[in-house]
């Protein structure tokens, strides 16, 4: 039975099942890198980083560690599966969101299947950068809502530190990124009023070049880079037009949260907890102010972890849940914006 209801902003389809988050977990490397540590590598300082981004420290995988996006993702996933009261054999599908996969191909999802010794379930990688976890939840939600799968594992993980430009040249980008992973298990519920109420996804590819790692790619392949031996070639480091991205982020965050609220006949005052993607504390504060939310209605942890991209919402959601900030029936809103540009929101009744 499928009920369809139309809304002013978005089409919302009501299915027989909803998906709800039954398990959460996260993992970050032990190695803490402070702003003062960064100041020893490049021309930056604690005051600038804190004032512009709110970040005090981040975790970077130390040299010699076996951690990678998939390894960290597996660590977070084990916790999430256990907390869901399930075993790896109960998982029907894997969704892995990352911009820093271990390999160009195959993706990290299949590595999770192997590392967790799972059945030969399907596994896909989602390549939507900072919006990756929101996109991943949406993909998982659709599979559960249609009745195809019962339990889907969604992972967001990033190994940024291995690919950053740690010289003065890279300071505008490098200081914001951290490593880590978060995971959620989504399970079927027959209660239509609980769990993921709706998801809202968007993209605008004309801005792809404003936040990009351009190489190596099929267009700009490794032998070509090596042959050119051009130390000024920055194409394999992340490039970000920070101010441009910032300006778009604050508009899109607002838009997509409004879209999600309206689709569910909710208002900002109904939000019990907003977890924005942790891109910049100033962006989160702007969004908080725009919706008139109190400090208790928003959760930020960028101060400790930096921007962990596809992992950031998963880590923050897990941490907020562990701290008892999410209660039964709470309206929890997740929202993200990032490279692509891509953006999205998830509206949950816990």
Piece of 19-27, 75-83, 185-193, 276-284 that binds ligand ACO (CB under 6 A): 276-284
Q: C-alpha dihedral over 213, 216, 221, 225, to 10 degrees? A: 90
Q: How far is the CB of 311 from ligand ACO (least distance, A)?
A: 11
Q: How far is CA 7 from CA 198, 200, 259, 291, in A?
A: 12, 13, 10, 21
Among residues 266, 186, 252, 196, the alpha carbon closest in space to that of 22 is found at 186
- Contact status: 48 vs ligand ACO (CB under 6 A): yes
- Contact status: 44 vs ligand ACO (CB under 6 A): yes
What DSSP letter does each residue of 238-290 carry, written as one string? -EE-HHHHHHHHHHHHHHHHHHHHHHTT--GGG-SEEEE--S-HHHHHHHHHH
Asked whether 91 and 153 are in contact (CB, 8 A), the reply is yes
- Contact status: 280 vs ligand ACO (CB under 6 A): yes
List, in order, residues 6 or more apart from 33 with CB less than 8 Å away.
57, 58, 59, 60, 161, 178
Asked whether 217 and 63 are in contact (CB, 8 A), the reply is no
User: What token pair was written down for 331?
Assistant: 């309206």
Task: Report the catalytic residues.
Answer: 130, 277, 307
- Contact status: 130 vs ligand ACO (CB under 6 A): yes
Q: How far is the CB of 44 from ligand ACO (least distance, A)?
A: 3
- CB-nearer residue toward ligand ACO: 15 or 239: 239
Q: How far is the CB of 154 from ligand ACO (least distance, A)?
A: 18
Q: How far is the CB of 72 from ligand ACO (least distance, A)?
A: 17
Binding mask 133-172 for ligand ACO (x = CB under 6 A): --------------------------------------xx
In this structure, the chain runs to a length of 350
* Identified binder of ligand ACO from the candidate list 278, 339, 344, 346, rule CB under 6 A: 339
Piece of 108-116, 149-157, 238-246, 267-275 that binds ligand ACO (CB under 6 A): 238-246
Note the residues at the interface with ligand ACO (CB under 6 A).
44, 48-49, 52-53, 129-130, 171-172, 175-176, 211, 242-243, 245-246, 249, 279-280, 283, 307, 309, 338-339
């Amino acid at each position: 039975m499928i009920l369809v209801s139309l809304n002013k902003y978005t089409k919302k389809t009501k299915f027989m099942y909803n998906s709800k988050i039954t398990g959460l977990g996260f993992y970050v490397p032990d190695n803490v890198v402070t702003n003062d540590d960064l100041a020893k590598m490049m021309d930056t300082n604690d005051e600038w980083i804190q004032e512009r981004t709110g970040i005090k420290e981040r975790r970077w995988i130390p040299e010699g560690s076996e951690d990678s996006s998939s390894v960290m993702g597996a660590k977070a996933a084990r916790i999430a599966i256990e907390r869901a009261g399930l075993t790896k054999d109960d998982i029907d599908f894997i969704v892995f969101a990352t911009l820093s996969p271990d390999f160009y191909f195959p993706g990290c999802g299949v590595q999770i299947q192997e590392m967790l010794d799972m059945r030969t379930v399907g596994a896909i990688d989602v390549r939507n950068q900072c919006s990756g976890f929101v996109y991943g939840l949406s993909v998982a939600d659709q599979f559960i809502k249609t009745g195809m799968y019962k339990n889907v594992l969604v992972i967001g993980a990033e190994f940024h530190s291995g690919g950053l430009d740690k010289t003065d040249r890279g300071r505008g980008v490098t200081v914001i990124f951290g490593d880590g992973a978060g995971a959620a298990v989504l399970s079927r519920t027959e209660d239509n009023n609980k769990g993921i109420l709706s998801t809202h996804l968007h993209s605008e590819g004309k801005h792809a070049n404003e936040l990009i790692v351009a190489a190596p790619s099929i267009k700009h392949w490794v032998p070509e880079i090596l042959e050119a031996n051009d130390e000024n070639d920055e194409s394999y480091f992340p490039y970000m037009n920070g101010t441009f991205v910032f300006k778009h982020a604050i508009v899109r965050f607002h838009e997509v949260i409004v879209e999600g609220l309206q689709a569910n006949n909710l208002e900002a005052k109904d939000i019990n907890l907003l977890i924005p993607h942790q891109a910049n504390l100033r962006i989160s504060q702007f969004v908080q102010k725009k919706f008139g939310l109190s400090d208790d209605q928003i959760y930020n942890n960028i101060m400790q972890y930096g921007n962990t991209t596809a992992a950031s919402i998963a880590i923050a959601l897990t941490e907020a849940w562990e701290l008892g900030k999410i209660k039964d029936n709470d309206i929890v809103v997740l929202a993200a914006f990032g490279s692509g540009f891509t953006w999205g929101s998830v509206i949950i009744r816990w």
